[in-house]
Structure 1
Amino acid sequence: MALEERPREKMLNNGEKSLSNAELLAIILRTGTKKQSVLELANYILNKDSQGIRWLKDITVQELCEIDGIGISKATQIKAALELGIRISSAKPTKYKVANPWDIYKYYMESLRYLNKEIFKIILLNTKNEIICDIDVSVGTLNMSLVHPREVFREAIKRNSNKIILMHNHPSGNIEPSNEDKNVTLRLIKCGDLIGIEVIDHIIIGDGLYYSFKENMII
């Protein structure tokens, strides 16, 4: 391989965006094996599963070590680089103003889209529509027995938030609300009305998609 075509030199000359997934992975791996160049090893790893690069997110260090040419050092380097990328993409600004459902989707998508369990959150807003905080209310399939109004509104009252957004993820990736999703939402809206806390939306996060109850005129 010509010097200028090697991943590291290519990055230095043209920037990281010019590199393929295999070339980026090759830089992390640094060396190949006696039988494979580092780029061939990187391509082998990425093509080992039909999901491509995405399958690396869930694979363990131990499973990576089962791949010929990958030891503890390379496996931990791969997982550390992936985790750093995930943390950067999900890092939150200190003050974030919400103008529409898209703003919520952008803010939370990376931290929710790959979860294997359904998590129901409430997002507390101040009078400027800035996020105060978010609270995990329940884990598991959303239903009225798991989501009690007391748990939903207690933190809002404590933190003087008079408006909240409901949010949960669908691990399946399908963002269409179930009947139970709708029933829970309408129940919480009624409870919020009684105590003066407005439920301004319920947003479902899928894999790269979102569903807003407000945009779809359910709220």
Structure 2
Amino acid sequence: MKVRERMALYGAETLSNRELLSVLLGGVNTNQVAQNVMDSLPHKNIYDLSELDVLDLNKIDGIGKRNAEILYAAVELGRRLHKERVKLHAPDFSTPRAVADYVMEDMRCLTQEEFRAALLTCKNQLITVKTLTKGTINASLAKSREVFKMALQYNAAAVILVHNHPSGDPAPSRDDINVTQKIFQAGQVMEIPVLDHIIIGDGTFTSLCELGYI
């Protein structure tokens, strides 16, 4: 039975990762090209696809420009579906886990640090997440006024800080702790409380509130 027929009869979940790739890929020798894709992944893990852009994918033997674009778009669609699922099942940011789940797929594979602010209503419901700066933690958090300028613009009642560690290790550095405490203190003055600072690693996270730093 052909792969597409098996998928139609028994569902996509019955297919291997290579078989799912072959369904997406057009042209001839799709099975071989799908295997080439799997072989090219750094850790032989399908998640590694999320770290590749179109140029990276286009280097895979036999894939071609159009298939590279299809795979890249499919990965992005999966990322967006994940975010929407999280929105539906975690409508508020009352827990560190809810925050981490919301941003994890966007931030876990970033190659540089990004500093974001989750702006919340008085009931801890998400208004929006804004990327404020990109760069090192010192550069990202040096201007706390940017956090509260954005909070005032969106009429936010509270803020949760979020940034990623490209190393994959979410353990806070001394700089992370120091600048978080400075912004926390500024929030008290502004009467816009900073509820937490979530550090995103590769599939893991740390809450500075849970660690007792704010």
TM over 0.5: yes
DSSP 3-state at the match of 1:44: helix
1:45-89 per-residue CA deviation (whole Å, 9 max, x = no partner) reads 201233222343344445444444322333232223222222322
Instruction: Look up the match of 1:168.
Output: 163
How many residues were matched structurally? 211
Kept after mapping to 2: 8 A contact 1:124/1:164: yes
Counterpart Cα distance in 2 of 1:151 and 1:183? 17
* Structure 1 residue runs without a partner (length 5+): none
Q: Percent identity?
A: 38
Kept after mapping to 1: 8 A contact 2:141/2:179: no
Mark the CA change 1:189 to 1:98 in structure 2 (over 3 Å): closer, same or farther. Answer: same
Check if 1:98 corresponds to 2:90: no
Mark the CA change 1:12 to 1:129 in structure 2 (over 3 Å): closer, same or farther. Answer: same
Shift of 1:43: 1.7
Q: Which structure has the bigger radius of gyration? A: 1
Counterpart Cα distance in 2 of 1:110 and 1:50? 18
Instruction: Look up the match of 1:69.
Output: 62
Mark the CA change 1:32 to 1:97 in structure 2 (over 3 Å): closer, same or farther. Answer: same
Check if 1:19 corresponds to 2:43: no
* Structure 2 residue runs without a partner (length 5+): none
1:70-120 per-residue CA deviation (whole Å, 9 max, x = no partner) reads 223332322232222223223474893122000101111111111111111
CA RMSD of aligned residues (A): 2.2
Between structures 1 and 2, the one with greater helix share: 2
Query: TM-score w.r.t. structure 2 length?
Result: 0.88
Check if 1:41 corresponds to 2:33: yes
Mark the CA change 1:100 to 1:25 in structure 2 (over 3 Å): closer, same or farther. Answer: same
Kept after mapping to 1: 8 A contact 2:184/2:194: yes
Kept after mapping to 1: 8 A contact 2:87/2:102: no
Mark the CA change 1:134 to 1:147 in structure 2 (over 3 Å): closer, same or farther. Answer: farther
Check if 1:29 corresponds to 2:18: no
Counterpart Cα distance in 2 of 1:77 and 1:198? 43
DSSP 3-state at the match of 1:135: strand
Instruction: Look up the match of 2:129.
Output: 134
DSSP 3-state at the match of 2:138: coil
Instruction: Look up the match of 1:214.
Output: 209
Paired residue type of 1:102 = R
Kept after mapping to 2: 8 A contact 1:168/1:204: yes
Counterpart Cα distance in 2 of 1:136 and 1:122? 7
Check if 1:201 corresponds to 2:200: no
Mark the CA change 1:123 to 1:73 in structure 2 (over 3 Å): closer, same or farther. Answer: closer
Mark the CA change 1:158 to 1:19 in structure 2 (over 3 Å): closer, same or farther. Answer: same
